[in-house]
């Protein structure tokens, strides 16, 4: 693999997509995962072991909660992320154990500080709509790179898309990169999060964009 996608999702939107067990989602961006851009389930014998990340537990619950399954002892989400992506990322020395992989993701989360940057740019959950170009420009201005922003497309009769996920790209040296797909290259990370009936896809620059403050 060549780069990492570091995905943050907006819990309110995740709940809107799948309201099965969502109680009171956090009102801040949380970690979805840290994903190499190729390969999945690289080492099926390297099993997730929650005791290896016990020192990270309070941070994990806060920054990387399982938004859909709120009971506290849920480690299923982390296990899934480790099995599918962590075992692949582990070819890098800085990510080559469960503690390093999850710990580094939390470190990147604090370093990126997406919540703080959006607030500083005056972009906060609201019942009025934003222009997608304004959100993109604010992020690009802050980080010096273009992230990948995913939305739920408008439902029947609606005119606005709903922001759901923001991904930052990192090199193997953990430097921020542009997330733009290379022309003519394949994009192996079609991370279509299919939840319930709706699914996330790259936001449309021309549609008004809803950044919801609570699950409707």
Catalytic residue among 8, 9, 85, 167: 85
Mean of per-residue pLDDT scores for the chain? 89
- Out of 32, 111, 183, 192, which one is annotated catalytic? 32
Quick one: average pLDDT of 154-170?
A: 94
- CATH code of 4-211, in short, is 3.90.730.10
69 or 73: which carries more pLDDT confidence? 69
Concerning whether 85 is annotated as a catalytic residue, the answer is yes
Q: Exposure of 39 by Cβ count < 10 A (0-12 exposed, 13-18 middle, 19+ buried)?
A: middle
Secondary structure of the chain as H, E, C letters: CCCEEEEEECHHHHHHHCCCCCCCCCCCCEEEEEEECCCCCCCCCCCCCHHHHHHHHHHHHHHCCCCCCCCCCCCHHHHHHHHHHHHHHCCCHHHCCHHHHHHHHHHHHHHHCHHHHHHHCCCCCCCCCEEHHHHHHHHHHHHCCCCEEEEECCCCCCCCEEEEEEEEEECCCCCEECCCCCCCCCCCCCCCCEECCEECEECCCCCEEECCCCCC
Predicted confidence (pLDDT) at residue 189 exceeds the cutoff of 50? no
Q: Which of 47, 81, 111, 137 is catalytic?
A: 81
The model's pLDDT over 88-132, given as tens digits with 9 standing for 90+, comes to 999 999 999 999 999 999 999 999 999 999 999 999 999 999 999
- SS3 of residue 41 by DSSP: coil
80 among known catalytic residues: no
pLDDT, position 132? 97
Q: Is the pLDDT of residue 216 over 80?
A: no
Average pLDDT over residues 5-19: 90
Q: What is the CA radius of gyration of the chain?
A: 17
Confirm whether 32 is a catalytic residue. yes
Query: What is the per-residue pLDDT for 73?
Result: 62
Q: Tell me, what's the pLDDT at 198?
A: 63
Report the pLDDT averaged over residues 43-52: 96
Q: Quick one: what percent of the chain has pLDDT higher than 70? A: 88
- What pLDDT is recorded for position 188? 44
pLDDT above 90: percentage of residues in the chain:
77
pLDDT tier at 68, thresholds 50, 70, 90: confident
Instruction: Show me where the domains of the chain are located.
Output: 4-211
At 187, the pLDDT band (50, 70, 90 cuts) reads very low
Task: Give residue 161's pLDDT.
Answer: 96
């Amino acid at each position: 693999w060549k780069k990492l996608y570091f995905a943050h999702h907006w819990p309110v939107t995740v709940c809107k997509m799948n309201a099965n067990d969502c109680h009171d989602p956090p009102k801040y961006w949380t970690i979805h995962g840290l994903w190499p851009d190729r390969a999945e389930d690289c080492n099926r014998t390297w099993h997730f072991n929650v005791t290896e990340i016990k020192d990270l537990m309070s941070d994990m619950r806060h920054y990387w909660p399982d938004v859909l399954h709120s009971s506290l002892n849920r480690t299923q989400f982390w296990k899934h992320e480790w099995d599918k992506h962590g075992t692949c990322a582990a070819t890098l020395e800085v990510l080559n154990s469960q503690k390093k992989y999850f710990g580094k993701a939390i470190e990147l989360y604090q370093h990126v500080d997406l919540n703080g940057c959006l607030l500083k740019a005056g972009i906060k959950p609201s019942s009025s709509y934003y222009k997608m170009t304004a959100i993109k420009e604010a992020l690009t201005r802050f980080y010096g790179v273009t992230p990948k922003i995913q939305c739920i497309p408008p439902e029947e009769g609606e005119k606005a898309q709903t922001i759901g996920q923001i991904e930052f790209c990192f090199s193997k040296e953990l430097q921020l990169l542009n997330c733009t797909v290379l022309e003519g290259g394949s994009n192996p990370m079609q991370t279509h999060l299919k939840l319930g009936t709706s699914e996330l896809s790259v936001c449309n620059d021309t549609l008004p964009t809803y950044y919801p403050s609570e699950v409707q």
